Amino acid sequence: MQWLRSLVFTTILFLDTFVFALLVVLATPFGLGARHGVARSWARFNLWLLKGLCGLDYVVEGRENLPMVGAHISYWKHSSTWETLAQMLIFPPQCWVLKREILWIPLIGWGVAAMRPIAINRGAGHRAVNQVVEQGAERLREGLWILLFPEGTRTRAGENRKYGLSGALLASRTGAKLVPVAHDAGTYWGRRGLLKRPGTITVVIGQPIETQGRDPRVLNEEAKAWIDATVTRLNTAASLAA
Walk along the chain (242 residues) in steps of 10 and give the mean pLDDT of each run. 94 96 96 95 98 97 95 96 96 94 93 94 82 95 95 87 94 96 95 91 97 94 97 86 65
Q: Which of 160, 198, 146 is nearest to 77 (CA)?
A: 160
**Cβ–Cβ under 8 Å, residues 195 and 2:** yes
For residues 39 and 117, what is the distance between their CA atoms, to the nearest angstrom?
A: 13
Asked whether the beta carbons of 234 and 186 are under 8 A apart, the reply is: no
pLDDT at 4: 94
The string over 151-164, giving b where at least 16 C-beta atoms fall within 10 Å of a residue's C-beta and e elsewhere, is bbebbebeeeeebb
Query: Dihedral through CA 111, CA 122, CA 230, CA 79, nearest 10?
Result: 60
CATH number at residue 103: 3.40.1130
Question: Is the C-alpha dihedral spanning 86, 200, 75, 69 positive or negative?
Answer: positive
Contact indicator for 97, 117 with CB cutoff of 8 Å:
yes
- Alpha-carbon distance of 228 to 205, in angstroms, equals 13
Which residue in 96, 170, 167, 180 sits closest to 134, CA to CA? 170
Say what the pLDDT of residue 242 is: 60
Give me the pLDDT at residue 123, please: 75
Number of domains comprising the chain: 1
Domain that holds residue 137: 2-241
* Cα dihedral sign, 88-239-14-53: negative
Phi, psi of 200 (to 5 degrees): -130, 115
State residue 106's pLDDT score. Answer: 92
* pTM (2 d.p.): 0.92
